[in-house]
Protein backbone atom coordinates (compact mmCIF):
# COMPACT_ATOMS: atom_id res chain seq x y z
CA UNK A 1 0.00 0.00 0.00
CA UNK A 2 2.99 2.35 0.14
CA UNK A 3 2.57 5.06 -2.46
CA UNK A 4 -1.25 5.20 -2.18
CA UNK A 5 -2.26 8.77 -1.31
CA UNK A 6 -5.22 9.21 1.05
CA UNK A 7 -6.76 12.70 0.62
CA UNK A 8 -7.23 14.82 3.70
CA UNK A 9 -6.82 18.32 5.11
CA UNK A 10 -4.72 17.61 8.20
CA UNK A 11 -1.65 19.64 9.10
CA UNK A 12 0.52 16.77 7.85
CA UNK A 13 -1.33 16.69 4.50
CA UNK A 14 -0.80 20.44 4.04
CA UNK A 15 2.91 20.42 4.94
CA UNK A 16 5.30 20.78 1.96
CA UNK A 17 6.69 17.51 0.61
CA UNK A 18 10.30 18.71 1.02
CA UNK A 19 9.73 19.39 4.73
CA UNK A 20 8.08 15.99 5.21
CA UNK A 21 10.90 14.23 3.32
CA UNK A 22 13.49 15.96 5.51
CA UNK A 23 11.65 15.07 8.72
CA UNK A 24 11.13 11.49 7.51
CA UNK A 25 14.85 11.10 6.77
CA UNK A 26 15.85 12.64 10.11
CA UNK A 27 13.42 10.56 12.19
CA UNK A 28 14.18 7.27 10.44
CA UNK A 29 17.94 7.91 10.80
CA UNK A 30 17.56 8.75 14.51
CA UNK A 31 15.47 5.59 15.05
CA UNK A 32 17.93 3.41 13.13
CA UNK A 33 20.84 4.66 15.28
CA UNK A 34 18.98 4.16 18.58
CA UNK A 35 19.86 1.16 20.76
CA UNK A 36 17.74 1.89 23.85
CA UNK A 37 14.40 0.09 24.14
CA UNK A 38 13.21 2.88 26.45
CA UNK A 39 13.99 5.62 23.91
CA UNK A 40 12.38 3.57 21.13
CA UNK A 41 9.29 3.26 23.35
CA UNK A 42 9.21 7.05 23.53
CA UNK A 43 9.61 7.15 19.75
CA UNK A 44 6.51 4.92 19.51
CA UNK A 45 4.51 7.59 21.36
CA UNK A 46 5.91 10.31 19.04
CA UNK A 47 5.13 8.31 15.87
CA UNK A 48 1.62 7.49 17.16
CA UNK A 49 1.13 11.23 17.72
CA UNK A 50 2.27 12.00 14.16
CA UNK A 51 -0.10 9.34 12.79
CA UNK A 52 -2.99 10.79 14.85
CA UNK A 53 -2.11 14.31 13.65
CA UNK A 54 -2.20 13.07 10.05
CA UNK A 55 -5.72 11.65 10.62
CA UNK A 56 -5.19 8.70 8.28
CA UNK A 57 -7.41 5.66 8.92
CA UNK A 58 -5.78 3.04 11.12
CA UNK A 59 -6.76 0.26 8.67
CA UNK A 60 -4.60 1.89 5.95
CA UNK A 61 -1.56 2.02 8.24
CA UNK A 62 -2.23 -1.54 9.39
CA UNK A 63 -2.33 -2.79 5.77
CA UNK A 64 1.17 -1.38 5.31
CA UNK A 65 2.42 -3.19 8.41
CA UNK A 66 1.01 -6.63 7.53
CA UNK A 67 3.77 -7.58 5.01
CA UNK A 68 6.38 -6.54 7.61
CA UNK A 69 4.89 -8.95 10.16
CA UNK A 70 6.06 -11.88 7.99
CA UNK A 71 9.62 -10.54 8.14
CA UNK A 72 9.39 -9.96 11.90
CA UNK A 73 8.02 -13.47 12.43
CA UNK A 74 11.37 -14.73 11.10
CA UNK A 75 13.77 -12.00 12.27
CA UNK A 76 12.62 -11.63 15.89
CA UNK A 77 12.97 -15.32 16.91
CA UNK A 78 16.40 -15.45 15.22
CA UNK A 79 17.49 -12.33 17.13
CA UNK A 80 16.09 -13.81 20.37
CA UNK A 81 18.16 -16.96 19.91
CA UNK A 82 21.37 -15.27 18.75
CA UNK A 83 21.45 -11.94 20.55
CA UNK A 84 18.83 -11.80 23.32
CA UNK A 85 15.46 -10.17 23.88
CA UNK A 86 16.72 -6.57 23.97
CA UNK A 87 18.18 -6.65 20.46
CA UNK A 88 15.12 -8.54 19.16
CA UNK A 89 12.77 -5.86 20.53
CA UNK A 90 15.04 -3.08 19.25
CA UNK A 91 15.12 -4.51 15.71
CA UNK A 92 11.34 -5.02 15.68
CA UNK A 93 10.62 -1.49 16.95
CA UNK A 94 13.03 0.12 14.49
CA UNK A 95 11.41 -1.64 11.54
CA UNK A 96 7.85 -0.97 12.72
CA UNK A 97 8.50 2.72 13.38
CA UNK A 98 10.25 3.24 10.04
CA UNK A 99 7.40 1.58 8.12
CA UNK A 100 4.73 3.55 9.99
CA UNK A 101 6.56 6.83 9.30
CA UNK A 102 6.99 5.94 5.62
CA UNK A 103 3.33 4.95 5.52
CA UNK A 104 2.19 8.25 7.03
CA UNK A 105 4.36 10.10 4.51
CA UNK A 106 3.02 8.22 1.50
CA UNK A 107 -0.61 8.40 2.68
CA UNK A 108 -0.40 12.19 3.14
CA UNK A 109 1.74 13.10 0.12
CA UNK A 110 0.78 12.62 -3.54
CA UNK A 111 3.47 10.85 -5.60
CA UNK A 112 3.71 13.87 -7.92
CA UNK A 113 4.69 16.09 -4.96
CA UNK A 114 7.34 13.56 -3.92
CA UNK A 115 8.77 13.52 -7.45
CA UNK A 116 8.76 17.33 -7.60
CA UNK A 117 10.56 17.45 -4.23
CA UNK A 118 13.17 14.94 -5.44
CA UNK A 119 13.75 16.96 -8.60
CA UNK A 120 14.07 20.14 -6.54
CA UNK A 121 16.70 18.46 -4.35
CA UNK A 122 18.61 17.25 -7.42
CA UNK A 123 18.47 20.54 -9.34
CA UNK A 124 21.86 21.80 -8.04
CA UNK A 125 23.43 18.57 -9.40
CA UNK A 126 21.77 18.66 -12.84
CA UNK A 127 25.19 18.92 -14.47
CA UNK A 128 25.93 15.34 -13.35
CA UNK A 129 22.49 13.86 -12.68
CA UNK A 130 19.42 13.72 -14.93
CA UNK A 131 16.71 14.71 -12.43
CA UNK A 132 13.92 13.52 -14.76
CA UNK A 133 15.38 10.01 -14.95
CA UNK A 134 15.89 9.90 -11.19
CA UNK A 135 12.28 11.06 -10.78
CA UNK A 136 11.13 8.28 -13.10
CA UNK A 137 13.19 5.71 -11.17
CA UNK A 138 11.72 6.97 -7.89
CA UNK A 139 8.18 6.78 -9.28
CA UNK A 140 8.81 3.21 -10.48
CA UNK A 141 10.24 2.23 -7.08
CA UNK A 142 7.23 3.71 -5.27
CA UNK A 143 4.88 1.85 -7.60
CA UNK A 144 6.86 -1.39 -7.28
CA UNK A 145 6.30 -1.67 -3.53
CA UNK A 146 2.49 -2.05 -3.62
CA UNK A 147 2.77 -4.06 -6.83
CA UNK A 148 5.02 -6.60 -5.10
CA UNK A 149 2.57 -6.71 -2.21
CA UNK A 150 -0.24 -7.49 -4.66
CA UNK A 151 1.82 -10.30 -6.20
CA UNK A 152 2.48 -11.85 -2.77
CA UNK A 153 -1.23 -11.56 -1.86
CA UNK A 154 -2.28 -13.21 -5.14
CA UNK A 155 0.17 -16.10 -4.67
CA UNK A 156 -1.02 -16.64 -1.08
CA UNK A 157 -4.67 -16.50 -2.19
CA UNK A 158 -4.00 -19.05 -4.95
CA UNK A 159 -2.30 -21.40 -2.45
CA UNK A 160 -5.19 -21.03 0.00
CA UNK A 161 -7.72 -21.70 -2.78
CA UNK A 162 -5.92 -24.98 -3.55
CA UNK A 163 -5.76 -25.84 0.15
CA UNK A 164 -1.97 -25.90 -0.06
CA UNK A 165 0.21 -25.37 2.95
CA UNK A 166 3.90 -25.07 2.47
CA UNK A 167 7.25 -23.59 3.25
CA UNK A 168 8.48 -20.08 2.55
CA UNK A 169 10.20 -21.46 -0.56
CA UNK A 170 6.83 -22.65 -1.91
CA UNK A 171 5.62 -19.03 -1.78
CA UNK A 172 8.91 -17.29 -2.64
CA UNK A 173 9.53 -19.07 -5.96
CA UNK A 174 6.23 -18.07 -7.64
CA UNK A 175 6.53 -14.55 -6.21
CA UNK A 176 10.05 -14.15 -7.64
CA UNK A 177 9.01 -15.57 -11.03
CA UNK A 178 6.00 -13.23 -11.26
CA UNK A 179 8.05 -10.24 -10.10
CA UNK A 180 10.69 -10.93 -12.78
CA UNK A 181 7.98 -11.25 -15.45
CA UNK A 182 6.48 -7.93 -14.35
CA UNK A 183 9.93 -6.31 -14.48
CA UNK A 184 10.42 -7.65 -18.03
CA UNK A 185 7.07 -6.20 -19.15
CA UNK A 186 7.94 -2.87 -17.55
CA UNK A 187 11.34 -2.84 -19.26
CA UNK A 188 9.72 -3.55 -22.63
CA UNK A 189 7.25 -0.71 -22.07
CA UNK A 190 10.08 1.71 -21.25
CA UNK A 191 12.06 0.63 -24.33
CA UNK A 192 8.94 1.11 -26.50
CA UNK A 193 8.75 4.69 -25.20
CA UNK A 194 12.39 5.37 -26.05
CA UNK A 195 13.74 5.37 -22.48
CA UNK A 196 16.44 2.76 -23.06
CA UNK A 197 19.42 5.00 -23.91
Residues 149 and 185 reside in one and the same domain: yes
- pLDDT of 197 over the 60 cut: no
How many structural domains comprise the chain?
Answer: 2
Q: What is the pLDDT of residue 13?
A: 82
Mean pLDDT of 86-106: 84
Residue 150 within any structural domain of the chain: yes
- pLDDT of 164 over the 50 cut: yes
Residues 96 and 163 reside in one and the same domain: no
**Could you read off the pLDDT of 120-154 as tens digits, one per residue?**
887 787 778 777 777 677 667 766 766 777 777 78
Mean pLDDT of 3-10: 74
Task: Give the residue numbers spanning the domain of 150.
Answer: 126-197
114 or 16: which carries more pLDDT confidence? 16
168 or 13: which carries more pLDDT confidence? 13
Query: Could you give the percent of the chain with pLDDT greater than 90?
Result: 1
Cβ-count burial 113-142 (b if 16+ within 10 Å, e if not): bbbebbeeebeeeeeeeebeebbeebbeeb
Between CA 103 and CA 135, with CA 184 as vertex, the angle to 5 degrees is 45
Choose one of 109, 134, 167: the last residue of a domain: 109
Q: What is the pLDDT of residue 1?
A: 41
Residues 69 and 148 reside in one and the same domain: no
Q: Is the Cβ–Cβ distance between 93 and 44 less than 8 Å?
A: yes
Residues 100 and 143 reside in one and the same domain: no
Instruction: Give CA–CA dist 125/104, Å, rounded.
Output: 29
Residues 139 and 166 reside in one and the same domain: yes
Classify residue 81 as exposed, middle or buried by CB count within 10 Å of its CB (0-12, 13-18, 19+): exposed
Residue 118 within any structural domain of the chain: no
Instruction: Give CA–CA dist 7/107, Å, rounded.
Output: 8
Q: What is the pLDDT of residue 195?
A: 59
Choose one of 56, 79, 109: the last residue of a domain: 109
Instruction: Round the average pLDDT of the chain to a whole number and report it.
Output: 78
Residues 98 and 131 reside in one and the same domain: no
Residue 31 within any structural domain of the chain: yes
Residue 68 within any structural domain of the chain: yes
Instruction: Give CA–CA dist 108/140, Å, rounded.
Output: 19
Residues 103 and 132 reside in one and the same domain: no
Residue 121 within any structural domain of the chain: no
DSSP-derived letter for residue 35 is: -
Residues 104 and 156 reside in one and the same domain: no
Residues 151 and 63 reside in one and the same domain: no
Q: What is the pLDDT of residue 184?
A: 77
Residues 86 and 171 reside in one and the same domain: no
Instruction: Give CA–CA dist 34/175, Å, rounded.
Output: 33
**Helices 111-122 and 17-33, interaxial angle, to 10°?**
80
Query: Could you give the percent of the chain with pLDDT greater than 70?
Result: 86
Residues 68 and 5 reside in one and the same domain: yes
Residues 39 and 130 reside in one and the same domain: no
> Which residues make Cβ contacts (< 8 Å) with residue 23, sequence separation at least 6?
none
Q: Residue 136 half-sphere exposure, CB side, CA atoms within 13 Å? A: 11
Amino acid sequence: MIGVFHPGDSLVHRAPALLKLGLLAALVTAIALQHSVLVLGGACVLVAGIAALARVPFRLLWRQLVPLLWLLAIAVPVQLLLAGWELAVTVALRLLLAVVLAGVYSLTTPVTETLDAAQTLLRPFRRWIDADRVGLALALAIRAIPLLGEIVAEVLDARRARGAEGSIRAVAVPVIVRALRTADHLGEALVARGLDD
